[in-house]
Structure 1
Amino acid sequence: MTKELEHKFIIELEENQNIVHKICKIYTDNTDAHNDLFQEITIQLWKAYPKFRGDAKFSTWMYRIALNTAITLYRKSKRQIRTQDFDSVLYKVKATTYDDTEEQQLKLMYDAIKQLNDIEKALVFLYLEDKNYKEISDTIGISEVNARVKMNRVKTKLKNILNP
C-alpha cells in the first residue's frame, strides 16, 4: 500500500472512528471486549481499504465492514472476541478516548438493543445514526422495503422489551 493511500486511510479512520466505537458498544459488554473489537474492526478496515472504490461514502463502507466484522466475531466466539496482532501502521492511528457519559443515559435502550438478533441490532444502529432506508438497505444488503418492514417490527419488539 502506498504512503498516500495509508495517509488517506488514517485520516478517514480518525474522522469516523466514533462509528466503530458505537458498534463496539452495541456488540460488547465490557471495556476489554470493546477495545478488542475496535482493534479487529480496524484491522479488517485496513485489509479491505485497497479495495474501497469510493462508490459509496467512506462512512457507509465503514459501517458495512464494521458491522460484518462485529456480527461475524460475535457469532464465532459468542462474546469472546479473538484478536489479531496489529500491523505496525495501525499504531499511527490516534485513538481518542471514548466518552460514554451520553451512552450511560441510554443504558436501558442499549440493554434492550442487546436482546435483539444481529440484523435487528444493525438496523437499530443505522436508524439511530439517522441513515435513510436506502442507506440502511445498501449497508445491510437487503431491499429498501425489507428494511422498512424489519425496522417497524424491531420498533415494536423494543417497545415490548422496554415496557413489558
Structure 2
Amino acid sequence: MTKELEHSFVAQLEENQNIVHKICRLYTNDSDSHNDLFQEITIQLWRAFPKFRGDSKFSTWMYRVALNTAITLYRKSKRSVKTQDYEGVSFKISAEAYDDTIEEQLKLMYKAVKKLNDIDKALVFLYLEDKSYREISETLGISEVNARVKMNRIKEKLRKILNP
C-alpha cells in the first residue's frame, strides 16, 4: 500500500477514534480487553480501507466495520478477545486520553445497555451518537422502519432495566 493511503487512513482514524473507543466500551469490561478490541478493530479497518469507495461518510463505514468486528469477536470468544499481529505495519496514532471515570448515570446506562443483545447494543450506540434512522439503517443493514420500531422497543427494555 502506498504511503499516501497509509497517511489518509491514519488521519481518518485519528479524527474518528472516539467511535472505536465507544464501541470498545460497550463490548468490553476492562482496559486490557478494551485495548485489545481497539487494536483488532484498527487492524480490520486497515485491511478493509483499500475497499472503502466513499459511497458513505468515512465515519458511517467505520461504525459498520467496528461494530461488525466487535460483535463477531464477542460472539466467538464470549468476552475473551484474541488479537493478531499484522506484520509490516505500525501506526503512530496519537491516542486521546480516554477517561474511565464517568458520571454515575452514564455507568448505569452502560450497565443497562450491556444487558441487551448485540444488535440492540449497536442500535442504541448509533442512536446515542445522534445518527439519523437512515444512517442507523444503512450501518446495520436493516430498514429505516425496522430501526425505528426496534429503538422504541429498546427504550422500553431500558426503562424496565433501569427502573425495575
TM-score interval, normalised by the smaller of the two chains: over 0.9
Give the equivalent residue in structure 2 for 1:7: 7
In structure 2, the partner of 1:109 is: 109
Output the amino acid matched with 2:135: E
Aligned length: 164
> Contact 2:10–2:91 at 8 Å: present in 1 too?
no
Task: Report how far residue 85 of structure 1 moved.
Answer: 1.0
Flag structure 2 segments of 5+ consecutive residues without an equivalent: none
Structure-2 residue corresponding to 1:66: 66
Larger displacement relative to structure 2 (91-100 or 29-38): 91-100
In the alignment, the residues of structure 1 paired with residue 67 and residue 103 of structure 2 have an alpha-carbon distance, to the nearest angstrom, of 19
Point out where structure 1 has 5 or more consecutive residues left out of the alignment: none
User: 1:23-43, CA deviations, whole angstroms, 9 ceiling, x for partnerless residues?
Assistant: 000000000000000000000
Q: Which residue of 1 aligns with 2:56?
A: 56
Runs of 4+ in 1 over 6 A off after TM superposition: none
- Structure-2 separation of matches of 1:21 and 1:104: 19
Higher helix share: 1
Q: Secondary structure at the match of 2:80?
A: coil
Whole-Å separation in 1 of the counterparts to 2:103 and 2:6: 32
State yes or no: 1:133 paired with 2:133. Answer: yes
Distance in 2 (alpha carbons) for counterparts of 1:22 and 1:109: 13
Where 2:90 maps in the other structure, the secondary structure is: helix
3-state SS, counterpart of residue 84 of structure 1? coil
> Deviations for 1:68-98, whole angstroms, at most 9, x for unmatched residues?
0000000000000010114443332222231
Q: Distance in 2 between matches of 1:40 and 1:126?
A: 20
Counterpart for residue 47 of structure 2 = 47
* Change over 3 Å in CA distance of 1:125–1:46 after alignment to 2: same
For residues 14 and 103 of structure 1, what CA distance do their matches in structure 2 show? 25
Describe the SS at the equivalent of 2:59.
helix
Identify the residue that residue 144 of structure 1 maps to in structure 2.
144
Q: Distance in 2 between matches of 1:96 and 1:87?
A: 24
State the Cα distance separating 1:109 from its structure 2 match. 0.2
Q: Which residue of 2 aligns with 1:156?
A: 156
Q: Which moved more, 1:27-36 or 1:95-104?
A: 95-104
How far apart are residue 104 of structure 1 and its match? 5.3
Report if aligned partners of 2:44, 2:65 keep a CA contact under 8 Å in 1. yes
Tell me, in whole angstroms, the C-alpha distance in 1 between the residues paired with 2:133 and 2:103: 24
The change in CA–CA distance for 1:20 and 1:103 in structure 2 (over 3 A counts) is: farther
What CA distance in whole angstroms lies between the structure 2 residues aligned with 1:149 and 1:88?
Answer: 45
Give the Cα–Cα distance (whole angstroms) in 2 for the partners of residues 143 and 130 of structure 1: 18
Evaluate the alpha carbon distance shift between residue 104 and residue 2 of structure 1 in structure 2; reply closer, same or farther with a 3 A threshold. farther
Per the TM alignment, residue 55 of structure 1 is displaced from its structure 2 partner at its CA by 0.5
Cα distance change, pair 50–76 in 1 and its aligned pair in 2 (3 A): same
